[in-house]
């Protein structure tokens, strides 16, 4: 797998290009599984050119790795937030 860190990108007023790519990739993984995610599908769903994907990530493995990493970070953030508001050790379980 390639480096999952996106290359330099510019921010959009709503979602950045990278955010659109990540969201599209996660949706496609959910719909088609890992093996069904292609550069063409990600580009289409994200509304970007395939070259944009290559410019930001280099290959499909890097895009998938970045999407999984983002999903894991968001999941951990939610879990940590829930643990912070739990009042007792039993509530935390």
Q: What is the pTM of this model?
A: 0.73
User: What domains can be seen in the chain, in order of their start residue?
Assistant: 17-87 (1.10.357.10)
pLDDT in tens, 33-85: 999 999 999 999 999 999 999 999 999 999 999 999 999 999 998 988 888 88
pLDDT confidence bin for 11, thresholds 50/70/90: very low
CA distances from 60 to 3, 6, 55, 77 (A): 11, 12, 12, 26
Q: What is the pLDDT of residue 88?
A: 77
Cβ neighbours of residue 7 under 8 Å, at least 6 residues apart?
Answer: 55, 56, 57, 58
pLDDT, greater one: 91 or 32: 32
């Amino acid at each position: 797998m390639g480096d999952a860190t996106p290359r330099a990108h510019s921010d959009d007023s709503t979602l950045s290009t990278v955010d659109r790519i990540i969201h599209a990739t996660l949706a496609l993984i959910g719909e088609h599984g890992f093996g069904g995610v292609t550069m063409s599908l990600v580009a289409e769903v994200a509304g970007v050119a395939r070259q944009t994907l290559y410019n930001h990530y280099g290959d499909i493995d890097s895009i998938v790795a970045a999407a999984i990493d983002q999903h894991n970070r968001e999941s951990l953030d939610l879990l940590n937030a829930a643990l912070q508001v739990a009042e007792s050790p039993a509530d935390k379980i």
